[in-house]
Every structure is written in structure tokens, then in C-alpha cells.
């Protein structure tokens, strides 16, 4: 695991040359901000220095095999009961969120890919990192429904009825290094996620050097579109919290810490 990160670090430490192909357009799109449908948090410290070639590995390395699986995609089972996360999320929200919303992204992703056999063996994470390489007629569907598929697969795993507490191991050290302290990180994470305008996600992500950043993504965009590895994410679409919290997104976010699965989040960082 360390070797992979070192390899990525070596690559990203090379002198910056012109980034070509889809990655260049993505990086420029990121810098262009809202014009490209991209929302970067004011708290994010995006440098635009990611090089082509490092990023697909970076993204795929962060995903469990089942999440970067291939067509036809299966709705992942929840790793706990619907009522297991009531320290943060109510039972009915979990049922609707998993059985309807996540199932919907899954079936729409499969429908979009059905007639594109050449994409059936391509890992979803690779498609999302290199979106511009996809046929134009499936690009939006993969971005939205592939993003929704993978974001939710990650989200369920990032939570646990045995969650809460403090980050662990190398992630705890990196949080102290990049945010000052765990308390400061929590404040900034909540502000970042709370500030997402409309539907989207608030993320803790890592670049190829393991540096942590906060990121907002609109709709179902994944941090992989920005060549960042998702470490911890929280869904701030209203469907994720409205039944219990109504307009009080901040209360949902402050309770979210009760269920964060820090063991899994550490794996996301170290893989
Ligand atoms: Mn959702």
C-alpha cells in the first residue's frame, strides 16, 4: 500500500509538464469552476498540479473491488440493518435512500451502458476518471448515475453502528497535519458540507501525495472527476436527511460523526 502511494508521489513530484488529453480538460474545467459544472469549496486547496497518468490509479486504488466492478452493476447490500444508524439517520430514510435512490442510480447506469458492450469490462472508477473518453451519448448518464452508484456504495461503508470516536493511525496524523486538529477538521468539514448549494456531497479527499483537502461536489459528481481520492463523504441531498431533520442540515451533519466508520475511512486513506 505504501509502495503505491510512494509511486504516486514520485510521479506527481516530477516537473510539471503540459497535461494532455482528457485530464487536461478536467483540470482546466476544475479551475474554471462553475462554468464546467464544478463547485470547489472555498476551503479546498486545489492546486491544479495533478498530472495525467497518476490519477486513474489513484482513484481506482481507493475503491473496494465491488465498487469498481463491471457491468451489470449490482446494488450493494447495506452492511447493517436499516435501523442501525439511528444515532444519525432514521430507519425510513435509510430504506428509501438505499432501496429507491441507490437502486435507481444502479438500474439507470446499467440501462445507459446496455448497448455499449465495449464499456462492460471497464471499471466504473476508470470511466469516471476519464469521462471524456466515453461516447458522448453515455457521458452524462455515467457521470450522474455512475457517480451516484459509487458515491452511495462508498457512503454506506463509511458509516457503522459501531462508528464514532476519533480517526486512527496515519489518517489521524494527516488530519492534525493538514487541519491543525481533529476538532478543527470537524468544524471545517461541517462548514464545507453545510455550504453545498442545492444537492451534492461534502468530502474529505486526498491527492496523490496523501495531502488532505475538503471538496464540494454538485449532484452526483465524484471526487474522482477532480482526480482526488474520496476518503470520507457525506450526502447532503435533501433525500439523505429531510424526513428527520427537515431544513436543519447542520443538525444532520453534527450527528453524522456518531456513525463515521473510522476503520473504513482509514482504509480509504491507506489503500
Ligand atoms: Mn443520496
Cα of 152 vs centre of ligand 1, distance in Å, is 6
Backbone angles phi, psi at 233, to 5 degrees: -135, 150
Helical axes 249-256 vs 182-194, angle rounded to 10°: 150
- CA–centroid distance, residue 4 to ligand 1 (Å): 31
**Alpha helices of 120-224 — where are they, by DSSP H?**
124-129, 136-141, 147-157, 169-179, 182-194
Using the mean position of ligand 1's atoms as its centre, give its distance from the Cα of residue 241 in Å. 9
Whether residue 48 is predicted with pLDDT greater than 50 in this model: the reply is no
Residue 71 per-residue DSSP state: S
**Ligand 1: centre distance to CA 133 (Å):** 26
Give 179's contacts (C-beta < 8 A, 6+ positions apart): 185, 188, 212
77, 251 Cβ separation under 8 angstroms:
no
Task: Return the pLDDT at 231.
Answer: 96
Nearest to 265 by CA among 236, 238, 234, 237: 234
pLDDT (tens digit, 9 = 90+) per residue, 116-160? 999 998 889 889 988 999 999 999 999 999 999 999 999 999 999
Rounded Cα–Cα distance for residues 11 and 60 (Å): 16
pLDDT tens-place string over residues 164-191: 999 999 999 999 999 999 999 999 999 9
Grid coordinates belonging to 3: 509502495
92 vs 13 pLDDT, higher one: 92
- The answer, yes or no, to whether residue 199 has pLDDT greater than 70, is yes
CA of 107 to the centre of ligand 1 (A): 15
pLDDT of 77 strictly over 90? yes
Comparing 6 with 91, which gets the higher pLDDT? Answer: 91
% residues pLDDT > 70 (the chain): 75
| pLDDT number for residue 60 | 54
What residues does the ion ligand 1 have nearby, CB within 5 Å?
A: 235, 237
pLDDT exceeds cutoff 60 at 47? no
Tell me what pLDDT residue 12 has. Answer: 36
Sheet holding 212-218, edge to edge: 212-218, 200-206, 229-235
CB-based burial, 63-94: b 16+ in 10 Å, e otherwise: beeebbbebebebbebebebebbbebbeeebb
| Cis peptide upstream of residue 108 (ω within 30 degrees of 0) | no
Answer yes or no: are the C-beta atoms of 141 and 127 closer than 8 Å.
Answer: no
Amino acid at each position: 500500500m505504501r509502495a503505491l502511494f510512494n509511486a504516486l508521489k514520485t510521479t506527481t513530484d516530477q516537473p510539471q509538464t503540459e497535461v494532455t488529453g482528457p485530464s487536461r480538460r478536467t483540470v482546466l474545467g476544475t479551475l474554471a469552476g462553475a462554468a464546467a459544472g464544478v463547485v470547489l469549496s472555498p476551503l479546498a486547496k486545489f492546486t491544479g498540479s495533478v498530472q495525467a497518468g497518476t490519477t486513474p490509479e489513484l482513484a481506482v486504488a481507493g475503491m473496494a473491488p465491488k465498487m469498481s466492478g463491471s457491468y451489470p452493476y449490482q446494488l450493494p447490500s447495506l452492511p447493517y440493518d436499516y435501523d442501525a444508524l439511528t444515532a444519525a439517520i432514521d430507519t425510513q430514510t435509510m430504506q428509501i435512500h438505499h432501496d429507491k435512490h441507490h437502486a435507481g442510480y444502479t438500474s439507470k447506469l446499467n440501462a445507459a451502458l446496455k448497448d455499449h458492450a465495449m464499456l462492460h469490462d471497464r471499471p466504473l472508477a476508470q470511466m469516471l476518471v476519464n469521462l471524456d473518453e466515453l461516447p458522448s451519448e453515455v457521458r452524462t448518464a455515467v457521470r450522474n448515475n455512475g457517480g451516484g452508484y459509487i458515491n452511495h456504495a462508498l457512503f454506506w461503508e463509511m458509516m457503522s453502528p459501531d462508528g464514532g470516536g476519533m480517526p486512527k493511525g496515519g489518517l489521524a496524523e494527516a488530519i492534525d497535519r493538514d487541519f491543525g486538529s481533529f476538532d478543527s477538521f470537524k468544524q471545517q468539514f461541517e462548514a464545507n458540507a453545510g455550504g453545498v448549494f442545492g444537492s451534492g456531497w461534502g468530502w474529505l479527499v486526498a491527492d496523490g501525495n496523501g495531502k488532505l483537502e475538503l471538496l464540494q461536489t454538485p449532484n452526483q459528481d465524484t471526487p474522482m472527476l477532480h482526480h482526488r481520492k474520496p476518503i470520507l463523504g457525506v450526502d447532503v441531498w435533501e433525500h439523505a436527511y429531510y424526513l428527520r431533520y427537515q431544513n436543519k442540515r447542520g443538525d444532520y451533519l453534527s450527528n453524522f460523526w456518531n456513525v463515521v466508520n473510522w476503520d473504513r475511512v482509514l482504509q480509504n486513506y491507506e489503500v
